A and B are shown apart, each in its own frame.
Chain A
Amino acid sequence: MSAKKEFSVKWGMAIDLDKCTGCGACMVACQAENNLAPQADASNKRRVMNWLVVYELSNGKAFPDHEVAYLPRPCQQCAEQPCATVCPVVATERNEEGGIVSQVTPRCIGCRYCMAACPYHARYFNWFDPIWPKGMEKALTPDVSMRPRGVVEKCTFCHHRFMQAKDVLRTKGIDVYTRAVDGKHHCAIPENGYVTSCAEACPNGAIVFGDLNNPAHKVYQLVTGNDNAFRLLERLGTDTAVYYISSREWVRRLGDNYLPDEETQKPQQILPKKH
């Protein structure tokens, strides 16, 4: 493992599991935004390309005490990536301001080592060439390049929207990074200037996106010191940029593996200490 990189801007999410109804709008929005190909038979979930997946969580109790929760899982954008460190050809790395783990599919040789490494199953392999129904290729966006068979891809927090938001500032002559009132450096992109496609689509506001290091951002306020916040598999030390919040303890407990006598963890290191 290489040394963890800290950035003054850290894009992240707070996903409110008490709000998610599991409708799937985010998943469809993601596919359309990122030029994923549809699949006629999507029944084998281990072969379905979805950068964002909504999992169903159960409190394990019998009717009528049963509760259900839905957990959208984008790439967790780990600060300590299990994946990028193992890639033999540097097709994926976390090296840019904002802390998004990149995935450069033209570099990828398709060894799938990163998929074996990622405990979140956030990485997907192109088992076949992508095929769109005739004409549907016209609805592809120019923002994300197409991927052939044989390469791995994953959620990039709609990185292209970050790039576009920066260009908007640049043409207005605004510096992308500024020193804010708290004396720290923040991105001058307004909070709604860069939002992922999934967060944008959700009518329930279950996905909140922003800079985890910027106290003015809602995502910061939602995760900082919030005892209801947790991250997936926190104890692995992946230091992910995706936080989940729920008032239900059973939901939070499903965020990590626990020995039977262990207490549900309080969110540790909610924000990186260094800035």
Chain B
Amino acid sequence: MEENRHCTNGGKSRSKCACGAVPFLAGAIVALAFGWWVFPDMLFSKEAQPFFFSHGVHVNDVGAACADCHSFREDGSFTGLPSLAACADCHAEVMTAEPGPDATAEQRTRYEAEKAFVEGYVSQGKEVPWRAHQKQPDNVFFSHAAHFNKCFDCHLTMQGELNLGKPDSPQKLCMTCHPSLEKLDKNPPVELNALTDYSRTTMKMWECEKCHAHPGHFYNDGKGRTAANNACSTCHK
């Protein structure tokens, strides 16, 4: 840019500039506070489950395996959340004994929850509007079959720290990726993003790429392919 050469009183400016720092800093602090503390709560809503559900009861007390409720279909697809019909196989009627006067609060909660379920859903034939923590976006094709079969092919047998060790139960395999919900008897609310409608725990692509783009997976398995393909269409539909 061609300068208009008439520089005037350059010296005076310095003192004026210094006192500008206070509002500047104040602004910055307010913005930082808003951005880090207020904003996340604004973005995410907390959605409770329709009624109290305990993985712990099912796994620890009843001894159910994950696959009893979350199973593969014959065509290789995964059921995900069980249908009402699947639940009703056991819960046709309230199974928990009605808590006596000396029952614990926990027993009471369980009983009330099951009663609410049986009366509100099973007997009315109404599917439960579960709030899923881990729902795949529509543009993702996630194959449980691929992960369940292929990942463990190596990671149960390979040398080194990436060996997951022989699992003592099939649940252990599920827990490789899923949180151990059987320990959680409280249902954490599902936090939904107001803009995207995704839950807070929805994985970002970079998390998938921790494995899919892992350099260790770019070996050739002797069959002319890599172990975990990172092509777009491997996961997207």
Q: Taking beta carbons and an 8 Å cutoff, which residues of A are in contact with B?
A: 7-8, 90-93, 95-97, 100, 102, 104-107, 143-146, 156, 159-160, 163-164, 166-171, 173, 177-179, 185
Contact = CB atoms under 8 A, between A and B. Distances in A.
B76 A168 contact: yes
9 contacts: A8-B225, A91-B232, A97-B224, A102-B232, A106-B137, A159-B237, A163-B237, A167-B76, A179-B223
A151 to B, nearest CB: 11
Given A8-B224, A97-B225, A170 B149 contact: yes
Interface string B125-142: 000000000000111010
A225 B233 CA distance: 31
A146 B232 contact: no
Given A91-B232, A105-B139, A163-B141, 6 more contacts: A102-B233, A104-B139, A159-B233, A170-B149, A171-B74, A177-B225
A177 B143 CA distance: 17
A7 B220 CA distance: 13
Nearest to B73: A171
Nearest to B74: A171
Interface residues of B, number: 26
B230 to A, nearest CB: 8
B96 interface: no
B58 interface: no
Given A164-B75, A177-B224, A96 B145 contact: no
Given A106-B139, A160-B141, A164-B77, A95 B223 contact: no
Contacts of A143: 237
A144 B72 CA distance: 20
Contacts of B234: 96
Contact of B229 (A96, A171, A185): A96
Nearest to A100: B233
Pairs A-B, 3 closest by C-beta atoms: A167-B76, A96-B231, A102-B233
A65 B29 CA distance: 84
Contact of A146 (B74, B138, B150): B138
A144 B231 CA distance: 17
A28 to B, nearest CB: 21
Interface in B192-237: 223-225, 229-234, 236-237
A121 B141 CA distance: 27
Given A97-B229, A100-B233, A104-B236, A167 B138 contact: no
Q: Which of B138, B149, B232, B236 has the most CB of A within 10 A?
A: B232
Contacts of B75: 164, 167-168
B231 A102 contact: yes
B72 A171 contact: yes
